[in-house]
């Protein structure tokens, strides 16, 4: 009584009466490398899946159809593993500092130069988490967790037009920014154009002043739906109404395009038409962290004012080497024909 309910009626019914019956099919702990096949720990329940007890046995060679190890780089054999092990012996596991203090290694700068060259942009910056980059962006155009710490760079008086199926990290980053948020129907260019027109004609609520900046927020491949953004049309609208474009390529970088350069390459477009490019290293590259890329002045601004750049611990050296090795493989610069 007098407390906010923990569950809505349907959620309570679903969790207790439907999901609980088949709960043992999810959240299975694994005990091997999450490759194409993996090993799982056997468990049993004696109270209808409320609790589990481990038997000590291992279920071998289970087919993995649930991870985003798209290109198979998350494995414990091959050139990536060997390169990471070599760097581990040279630099250790962690840096124990931020990039702006004692945590800026030559490997971090090598990675950022490689990412910029891979994407065909002026500059790039690596972060420890992909989701935090999305928070940074709103700061950047003022501009995972990338999305959460990037997007707050926007300020009051700015407008964000966000696809209704954007990832939760983009949604949270947008909310933290203080900017006004309006949602357009998924991949619906007519609805997006209507919102752009209304924003320009009516301006800000109450004051009717023009918006300081208008940012279109989309994903390359939408993680919740699997659909590909209609990027050529989005860019055309962005240019027509003089707005900015933030592209989250978490699931498309490395997986789309003839050279694995994401949805921009997939459509044969120029990276210069995208103001802010964000992606993660957790999917196609089998590592962790993410990047933000674009104009040099934008990246320099983020290096100075982004919370993640100032306060977050640097990427682990073995992880950095994993990304470099896998990216060079995709680019065909590893001396093999694998990429």
pLDDT in tens, 278-298: 999 999 999 999 999 999 998
Residue 57 sits in the same domain as residue 93? no
Is the domain of 104 the same as that of 52?
no
Together in a domain, 237 and 313? yes
Taking the chain, what is the end-to-end CA distance rounded to the nearest angstrom?
Answer: 61
| Whole-number Å distance between alpha carbons of 233 and 263 | 13
Domain range holding 35?
9-63
Q: Clarify whether 167 is annotated catalytic.
A: no
Considering only CA atoms, which of 160, 112, 118 is closest in space to residue 135? 160
Q: What are phi and psi of 139, to 5 degrees?
A: -75, -35
Residue 157 and residue 58 share a domain = no
Q: In this structure, is the dihedral angle defined by the CA atoms of residues 151, 299, 196 and 279, taken in order, positive or negative?
A: negative
Beta bridge partners of 293: 124, 277
Q: 226 and 116 in one domain? A: yes
Annotated active-site residue in 108, 134, 142, 251: 251
**Catalytic entry in 143, 213, 238, 283:** 283
Q: Are residues 52 and 93 in the same domain?
A: no
Q: Is residue 43 helix, strand or coil?
A: strand
- Residues 51, 197, single domain; the answer is no
pTM: 0.86
The DSSP call for residue 124 is E
Angle between helices 317-331 and 79-91 (to 10 degrees): 150
pLDDT of residue 275: 93
- What residues form DSSP beta bridges with 313? 98
Q: Give the per-residue pLDDT at 112.
A: 96
Domain identity same for 24 and 121:
no
Has residue 337 been placed in a domain?
no
Over the stretch 28-68, which tens digit does the pLDDT of each residue have? 899 998 888 899 999 999 998 989 999 999 999 999 888 88
Cα distances from 327 to residues 71, 153, 253, 261, 324, in angstroms, run 11, 29, 11, 10, 5
What is the reported pLDDT for 96? 87
pLDDT of residue 6: 66
- Catalytic residue, chosen from 223, 243, 252, 308, is 223
Whether residue 277 has pLDDT greater than 50? yes
Whether 185 is in a domain gets the answer: yes
Q: What is the pLDDT of residue 324?
A: 96
Q: Are residues 154 and 252 in the same domain?
A: yes
* Greatest pairwise CA separation for the chain in angstroms: 68
- Does residue 4 fall inside a structural domain? no
Do 56 and 86 sit in the same domain of this protein?
A: no
Q: Strand, helix or coil at 47?
A: coil
Q: Is the pLDDT of residue 26 over 90?
A: no
Summarised one tens digit per residue, pLDDT across range 308-317 is 778 888 899 9
Does the active-site annotation cover 223? Answer: yes
Same domain, 87 and 221: yes
As a whole number of angstroms, the distance between CA 183 and CA 190 comes to 13
Residues 26 and 111 both lie in one domain: no
Q: Is residue 116 part of a domain?
A: yes
> Could you give the number of structural domains in the chain?
2
Residue 283 known to be catalytic: yes
Domain boundary among 35, 63, 91: 63
- pLDDT tens, residue by residue, 104-157: 899 999 999 999 999 999 999 998 875 455 555 554 443 344 554 455 456 678
């Amino acid at each position: 009584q007098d407390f906010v309910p923990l569950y809505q009626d349907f959620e309570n019914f679903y969790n207790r009466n439907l999901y609980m019956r088949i709960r043992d099919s999810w959240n299975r702990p694994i005990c091997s490398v999450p490759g194409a096949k993996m090993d799982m720990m056997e468990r049993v329940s004696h109270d209808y899946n409320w609790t589990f007890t481990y038997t000590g046995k291992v279920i071998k060679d289970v087919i993995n159809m649930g991870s985003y190890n798209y290109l198979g780089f998350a494995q414990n054999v091959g050139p990536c593993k060997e390169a990471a092990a070599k760097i581990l012996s040279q630099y250790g596991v962690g840096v124990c500092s931020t990039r702006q203090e004692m945590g800026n290694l030559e490997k971090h700068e090598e990675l950022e130069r490689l990412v910029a060259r891979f994407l065909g942009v002026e500059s790039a910056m690596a972060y420890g988490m992909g989701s935090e980059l999305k928070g940074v962006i709103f700061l950047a155009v003022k501009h995972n967790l990338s999305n959460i710490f990037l997007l707050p760079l926007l300020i009051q008086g700015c407008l964000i037009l966000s696809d209704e199926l954007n990832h939760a990290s983009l949604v949270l980053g947008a909310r933290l920014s203080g900017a006004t948020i309006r949602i357009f129907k998924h991949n619906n260019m007519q609805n997006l154009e209507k919102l752009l027109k209304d924003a320009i004609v009516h301006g800000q609520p109450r004051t009717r002043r023009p918006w300081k900046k208008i940012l279109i927020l989309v994903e390359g491949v939408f993680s919740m739906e699997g659909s590909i953004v209609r990027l050529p049309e989005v860019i055309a609208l962005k240019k027509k109404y003089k707005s900015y474009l933030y592209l989250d390529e978490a699931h498309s970088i490395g997986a789309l395009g003839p050279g694995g350069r994401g949805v921009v390459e997939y459509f044969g477009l120029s990276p210069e038409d995208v103001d802010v490019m964000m992606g993660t290293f957790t999917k196609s590259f089998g590592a962790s962290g993410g990047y933000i890329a674009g104009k040099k002045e934008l990246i320099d601004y983020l290096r100075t004012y982004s919370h993640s750049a100032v306060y977050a611990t640097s990427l682990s050296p073995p992880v950095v080497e994993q990304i470099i090795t896998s990216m060079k493989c995709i680019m065909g610069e590893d001396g093999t024909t694998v990429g």
